[in-house]
Amino acid sequence: MNDAKNSRRDFLARVSAVGAASMLAGTGAASGSRAAEGQAKLAIDGGTPVRKTVLGSRPYGPQFYDEVEKQEVLEVLDSKNPFRWWHSSSKVLQFEKAYAEHIGVKHALAVTSGTTALYTAMAALEIGPGDEVILPAWTWYADYDAVVLCGGLPVFAEIDESLSMDPADIEHRITPRTKAIVPSHLQGTPADMDPILEIARKHNIRVLEDCAQCCGGRYKGKFVGTIGDMGINSFQLSKTITSGEGGAVTTNDATLFERALRFHDVSSLRSPYQQSLSGGLLAGFASCNFRMNEFTGAVLKGQVSKLDTICGRLRDNARKVREGIADLPGLKLRKTGDQDGDIGVTVFLDLGTRQRRDFFLRALRAENISASGPGGSVILPADQRIESKATIHPEWPSFRTPAGQAIRYGAESCPRTIDIIGRMGGVIMDPSFTEDDVQDIVTAIRKVYPAIVKV
């Protein structure tokens, strides 16, 4: 609660520093036609909306499909072998190589989904009973489920205003049993990797980057998924590049790659990987079948070649929105560890309180601009099935510390995360937005923003 009060105080202090009065009058930093926007009657109050029709963000990803993917898929049909192995030119292998080359990592392994990529990475990292894995309190279920289904114990760290794991909330959660930290790069913004890596190295803990919501993102010049010990990605329908379902595991470590390779394919090593990558250190072990099929590989091979274009357009659009509102008094954008590396899929504002955020969203929607709070993730410790620790077997994992103490989740374990998620509101960008669409977003934000001070 104190956090919530502090954020409200912060917001008002920021606004009064630049002059709330001038803001309400639509003057001050805003000028000319922009000031007029600030004074126009809001659509929520019966005024004319900025747009006649709704500028929507789709619930699914860009799907930049064209002849490229079509041709690749037809070649698979013609080959009459949609299985990834037993080929001289497997599409899955070509995709893996193209993706690894694109992001600059030694090894990429294609799998059936982001979720199975997480299971595969957990197996490679040898996460098992008693091991603790630190996750952000706001991310997707799969991060939690992957740990639990290995028999490990998820430990949640609060997020910060970047919507990713707060590096300052990690170290005190480390115990002798902590084996990995899983920073998720959420809604297009890379997590702040430097301090996370520093803590992990100090305590000899592995780092697995979850890049499912940030494909193509970079942190200080490096693509996400190449920075920690391992990375995973998802190519599910709502992701930057997509084949409907699909995933990948990435690493620069040959032994981790061989473990992942074996785990995803009934422990086999097949051509072109018959030679052990770990120098014969590894033997077979209980594993799965998460192999990607050739149709999926064909689509993804085409999609990788478009990743730069998609991210380039998103970044451009998001930058124009940010620049168009930069002079708004007291404006606080979502924090980022690297603005240039952000893929620009969202522009979020920290509105200080949930009440003000909700008003902002309602007002923007009335102007016919789709607006939302953070999405695509869940406040995991507060989720009913996680709070109740429901699993496939009542006694596994035990959710107990070695001293026998029961681990407790629940909303009370992540108050900051709940507060931050409730304060953030903004727009989901689309690479197909036109110059006019982007301008409408700017106009609508400028129009409704002055009114939020009164909320």
Ligand X SMILES: Cc1ncc(COP(=O)(O)O)c(C=O)c1O
Chain positions 64 to 83 lying near ligand X, rule: CB under 6 A, are: none
Shortest Cβ distance from residue 232 to ligand X (Å)?
7
Say if CB 233 and CB 217 are below 8 A apart: no
Nearest to 79 by CA among 235, 384, 293, 234: 293
Choose, by CB under 6 A, the member of 62, 154, 247, 374 that binds ligand X: 247
Say if CB 253 and CB 231 are below 8 A apart: no
Q: What track of x and - describes contact with ligand X for positions 79 through 118 (by CB under 6 A)?
A: ----------------------------------xxx---
- Asked whether position 450 contacts ligand X by CB under 6 A, the answer is no
Shortest Cβ distance from residue 246 to ligand X (Å)?
7
Cβ-count burial of 119 within 10 angstroms (0-12 exposed, 13-18 middle, 19+ buried)? buried
- Asked whether position 231 contacts ligand X by CB under 6 A, the answer is no
Length of the chain: 455
Say if CB 319 and CB 21 are below 8 A apart: no
- Asked whether position 376 contacts ligand X by CB under 6 A, the answer is yes
Choose, by CB under 6 A, the member of 7, 178, 189, 213 that binds ligand X: 213
- Asked whether position 212 contacts ligand X by CB under 6 A, the answer is yes
Shortest Cβ distance from residue 215 to ligand X (Å)?
11
- Asked whether position 145 contacts ligand X by CB under 6 A, the answer is no
By beta-carbon proximity to ligand X, the closer residue of 242 and 353 is 242
Choose, by CB under 6 A, the member of 139, 226, 243, 336 that binds ligand X: 139
* Binding region for ligand X (CB under 6 A) out of 97-105, 123-131, 140-148, 330-338: 140-148
The 3-state DSSP composition of the chain as helix, strand, coil percent (nearest 5) reads 40, 15, 45
Choose, by CB under 6 A, the member of 210, 229, 294, 419 that binds ligand X: 210
Strand partners, 157: 136
- From CA 313, how far away is CA 300, in angstroms rounded? 19
By beta-carbon proximity to ligand X, the closer residue of 7 and 243 is 243
Query: What one-character-per-residue DSSP string does 31-79 give?
Result: -HHHHHHHHSPPGGGT---S-SS-B---SS-----SHHHHHHHHHHHHH
Say if CB 407 and CB 400 are below 8 A apart: yes
Contact residues for ligand X (CB under 6 A)? Answer: 113-115, 139-140, 142-143, 184, 210, 212-213, 234, 236, 247, 376
